[in-house]
Structure 1
Amino acid sequence: MDWKDVGFSGNYIGLGNYITLFTKDVTFKTTLLNTLKLSAIFVGVTIPLGLMLAILLDFEIVAKKFFRLIFLLPLSFSFVASASMWVWMFSPQVGVINSLLKLVGLQSYTQPWITSSTQSLFCIAIVYIWQFSGFSTLVYYAGISGVPDDIREAARIDGANKFQEYSKIVIPMQKPATLTMLVILLMYSLKVFDLVYLLTGGGPGRSSEVLSTLMYEVTFNRNLFGQGAAIGIVMFVISMIIILPFFIRKRASYYE
């Protein structure tokens, strides 16, 4: 339906909204690409970072409980609190990051950060990675802790060093945890709204606009409810493409 205002009447236009999105709306194409970029950076960094931190926690290090708390602390913050903190840190004038660079004599390395059209999306990815790296660490640490001690002990008896123990035994056994993290993180990256809206508002110049913020703008600012619903359906289809193979695989393994 071609809904352009609140009411009970509308013109049936079939797939017109989808045709408009994919053939005429340049903003949608840019936004879709931004969403995919953000997902790729976020997932591509958070998963290996979480695995490395989990391996670090698996070693007998001093103050392990303290580091475990520090790694998980960002997960306890709401997106609003995280965004407010990072807006201040990324501020080109009074932000902590640029202030520290100036303090150590690296003034030439100061950046505009979230006010730059080339850096804003990466800044959002940094905040997202910081927020979820603790969750990834927790999942992998649980997986590593679940590796039977007799298997690891047998590897040590056979002469395996620490690198071989982790690369040949521990890490390969984290495949279920990796698949779980992949699905969860992709789902979160596709529906991200709070951080983008509060950090950059999709700007500057739509350089950090993602599907969820575009759907909000089209629906509530332009009152194009039909196009907004079409964007929501596109997000739903992408989510199903990601999540269905996971459930199919789980179902197949259940009946094996």
Structure 2
Amino acid sequence: MDWKDVGFSGNYIGLGNYITLFTKDVTFKTTLLNTLKLSAIFVGVTIPLGLMLAILLDFKIVAKKFFRLIFLLPLSFSFVASASMWVWMFSPQVGVINSLLKLVGLQSYTQPWITSSMQSLFCIAIVYIWQFSGFSTLVYYAGISGVPDDIREAARIDGANKFQEYSKIVIPMQKPATLTVLVILLMYSLKVFDLVYLLTGGGPGRSSEVLSTLMYEVTFNRNLFGQGAAIGIVMFVISMIIILPFFIRKRASYYE
């Protein structure tokens, strides 16, 4: 339906909204690419980072509880609080990052960060990685803690060092944890809205616009409810295309 206002009247246009999105709307193609880029960076970094932090927590280190708290602390932050903090840190004039670079004599490396069309999407990815690395760490730490001690002890008796113990036994046994983290992060990354809207609003220009912010703009700012719904359906289909193979594989392995 081609709805342009709140009400029950509308013109049936079939697949017209989808045809417009994929053939005429350059903005949609840009935001789709931005969404996929953000998802790739976010998921591709958060998973190995969480695994490394979980392995670090598995070692008998001093102040283990303190480090566990530090790793998990970002999870407790609201998106508004996180966005406010990172907007200040990324500020080109008074931000912490540029101030530290100037302090150590690296003034030539200062950047405009979220105000740059080249770097804004990367900056958003950094914030999401920081926010969700604790979740990834928590899942992996639970998985590593669940590895039976007798298996690890048997490996040590057979002469395995720490590297071999983790690379040959502990990490390969984290496939269920990896699948859990991967599915959840992928699902979330394809519908990110909060931090994108709060940090950059999709700008500068359309450099950090993603599908969810475009859907919001099209639906509520332009009152093109039909196109907004079409974008939502596209997001759902992309999510299913990416996620379903994992569930099918998991179901198949369950019956093997």
Give the TM-score of the pair, scaled to structure 2: 0.98
CA distance in 2, matches of 1:137, 1:10: 49
- Cα drift, residue 47 of structure 1: 0.2
- Cα drift, residue 36 of structure 1: 0.2
| Structure 1 partner of 2:152 | 152
| Structure 2 partner of 1:210 | 210
CA distance in 1, matches of 2:254, 2:49: 30
Is structure 2 residue 247 aligned with structure 1 residue 222?
no
- Cα drift, residue 253 of structure 1: 3.5
Is structure 2 residue 184 aligned with structure 1 residue 184?
yes
CA distance in 2, matches of 1:119, 1:84: 18
CA distance in 1, matches of 2:178, 2:64: 23
CA distance in 1, matches of 2:79, 2:90: 16
Is structure 2 residue 59 aligned with structure 1 residue 59?
yes
CA distance in 2, matches of 1:48, 1:23: 37
1:16-40 per-position Cα deviation (integer Å, ceiling 9, x unaligned): 0000000110000000000000000
1:114-146 per-position Cα deviation (integer Å, ceiling 9, x unaligned): 000000000000000000001100100000000
Is structure 2 residue 8 aligned with structure 1 residue 8?
yes
- Cα drift, residue 230 of structure 1: 0.1
Q: Percent identity?
A: 99
CA distance in 2, matches of 1:193, 1:44: 19
- Cα drift, residue 247 of structure 1: 2.7
- Cα drift, residue 191 of structure 1: 1.0
- Cα drift, residue 104 of structure 1: 1.5
1:213-241 per-position Cα deviation (integer Å, ceiling 9, x unaligned): 00000000011100000000001111112
CA distance in 2, matches of 1:243, 1:125: 21
| Structure 1 partner of 2:82 | 82
- Cα drift, residue 248 of structure 1: 2.5
Corresponding residue SS for 1:44 = helix
Corresponding residue SS for 1:201 = coil
CA distance in 1, matches of 2:201, 2:191: 15
List runs of 5+ in structure 1 lacking aligned partners. none
1:30-60 per-position Cα deviation (integer Å, ceiling 9, x unaligned): 0000000000000000000000000000000
- Cα drift, residue 150 of structure 1: 0.7
- Cα drift, residue 100 of structure 1: 1.1
1:91-170 to structure 2, matched below 5 A, reads: 91-170=91-170
List runs of 5+ in structure 2 lacking aligned partners. none
CA distance in 2, matches of 1:50, 1:137: 4
Corresponding residue SS for 2:10 = coil
| Structure 1 partner of 2:48 | 48
Corresponding residue SS for 2:147 = coil
Corresponding residue SS for 1:33 = helix
1:68-111 per-position Cα deviation (integer Å, ceiling 9, x unaligned): 00000000001111011100110001111111111111111110
CA distance in 1, matches of 2:187, 2:78: 18
- Cα drift, residue 6 of structure 1: 1.4
RMSD of equivalent CA atoms: 0.9
- Cα drift, residue 14 of structure 1: 0.2
CA distance in 1, matches of 2:65, 2:177: 22
Corresponding residue SS for 1:134 = helix
Corresponding residue SS for 1:168 = helix
1:155-199 per-position Cα deviation (integer Å, ceiling 9, x unaligned): 111111111110000000001111111100011111110100010
- Cα drift, residue 246 of structure 1: 2.8
CA distance in 1, matches of 2:218, 2:204: 17
| Structure 2 partner of 1:238 | 238
CA distance in 1, matches of 2:244, 2:119: 33
Corresponding residue SS for 1:62 = coil
CA distance in 2, matches of 1:255, 1:84: 48
CA distance in 1, matches of 2:251, 2:122: 37
CA distance in 2, matches of 1:230, 1:39: 21
